[in-house]
Amino acid sequence: MALACSAAQLAAEVGISDATVVRTAQALGFDGLSGLRRALATALEQRSSPADDMRRTLADVGENTGRAIDLVLDTHREAIEALQCESTRATILAAVSQLHRAERIVVFGIGPSAPLARYMTILLTRNGRPARTLDATGVALADQLIALREGDALLILAYGRAYREVVATFAEARQLRLPTVLVTDSLDGKLARKAEVVIPAKRGRANRVALHGTTLVVLEAIVLGLAASDRKRAMDALRRLNDLRAEVTGMRVDLA
């Protein structure tokens, strides 16, 4: 929670003032809450396996299915509250502004993030934004990276350590001078220092099973923000989608 919540949110949880939260971090030897977060993030970079995370999560809930459901709902509620803080909302707005200027948006995501990257590409295309997905691993990623071009902007979904595929993607973006937006939980790691805009999206609680709902919320917020930035483009594309569906199905539905 210290990584995901503002000082005011932490204070409300504990029942103290937000100034006390900051003073506590300073009393522990940090410059403030941001310094404490950096230390916590560094400590969490030694990530355990998915099996270890699931074991700890199941130990929390026992054999109570209701508690398991509540854990997921409570975790997402905490994460959404963190997204609504002023600083995080500002980073989402900055991401929309950065991506709005691009001729094409390229979405990177591998492993569990790959389906989210593909879903984001579908949403962008439906709203009139040329988009492409980078979702290959290993040497196959090179065949996707070679298609990057001037005018692209990258939206990168990457968590945890700086693995080879994401490092290569950032390197190619830097070589081509392409703007990058990173959605991550590694706010103080090597990944965050490589991107122009960094959106913090926690994947659940530390050392517990990963939950991707917060990432999905961020992506859909970006899509709607882009649609609001160019309403005509979005509506024209959706009308075209409606026409194509009618051709495929033989059924037409008017789109207001």
**Percent of the chain predicted with pLDDT > 70:** 91
Nearest residue to 230 (alpha-carbon basis) of 85, 48, 103, 90: 103
Helix (H) or strand (E) holding 181: strand 180-184
Average pLDDT score over residue span 65-82:
88
φ, ψ for residue 31 (rounded to 5)? -75, -15
Q: Higher confidence at residue 64 or residue 121?
A: 121
Q: What is the mean pLDDT of the chain?
A: 88
- What is the fold, at CATH topology level, of the domain defined by 86-243? Rossmann fold (3.40.50)
Spell out the alpha helix ranges (H) of 102-181: 114-126, 140-145, 164-176
- Per-residue pLDDT for 5 more than 90? no
Nearest residue to 79 (alpha-carbon basis) of 188, 202, 187: 202
Looking at residue 118, its pLDDT comes to 97
Contact 127, 229 (CB under 8 A): no
φ, ψ for residue 253 (rounded to 5)? -125, 125
The residue type found at 226 is L
What is the pTM (predicted TM-score) of this model? 0.76
Q: What is the pLDDT of residues 97-135, one digit of tens each?
A: 999 999 999 999 999 899 999 999 999 999 999 999 999
Q: Which of 135-139, 185-189, 228-232 has the lowest mean pLDDT?
A: 185-189
Q: Which residues pair with 182 in a beta bridge?
A: 156, 198
Looking at residue 189, its pLDDT comes to 66
Q: For residues 159 and 138, give the distance between their C-alpha atoms in angstroms, rounded to a whole number.
A: 17
With the CA atoms of 41, 45, 49 and 51 taken in that order, what torsion angle do they form, in degrees rounded to the nearest 10? -10
- Per-residue pLDDT for 16 more than 60? yes
Q: Higher confidence at residue 144 or residue 11?
A: 144
Nearest residue to 194 (alpha-carbon basis) of 124, 108, 84: 108
Helix (H) or strand (E) holding 208: none
Q: What are the sequence ranges of the domains in the chain? A: 1-44, 86-243
- Per-residue pLDDT for 15 more than 80? yes
Q: How many CB atoms lie within 10 A of CB 246?
A: 12
Average pLDDT score over residue span 192-215:
83
Query: Which tokens belong to 100?
Result: 């709005």
Which positions ≥6 away from 172 have C-beta within 8 Å?
145, 148
Looking at residue 204, its pLDDT comes to 72
